[in-house]
A = this chain, B = another copy of it.
Amino acid sequence: MIKARVTVTLKNGVLDPQGKAIEGALGALGFDGIGQVRQGKVFDLQIETGDQAKAEADLKAMCEKLLANTVIENYSISFA
Contacts and interface: CB of A to CB of B under 8 A. Distances in A.
Interface in A1-41: 7, 9, 19, 22-23, 25-26, 29, 31-41
Contacts of A23: 45
B66 A48 contact: no
Copies of this chain, tallied across the complex: 2
A40 to B, nearest CB: 4
Which bracket fits the contact residues of A? Answer: 20 to 34
Given A33-B48, A34-B47, A40-B43, 8 more contacts: A9-B42, A22-B66, A26-B62, A35-B45, A38-B43, A39-B41, A39-B43, A41-B41
Interface string A44-80: 1111110000000010011001110000000000000
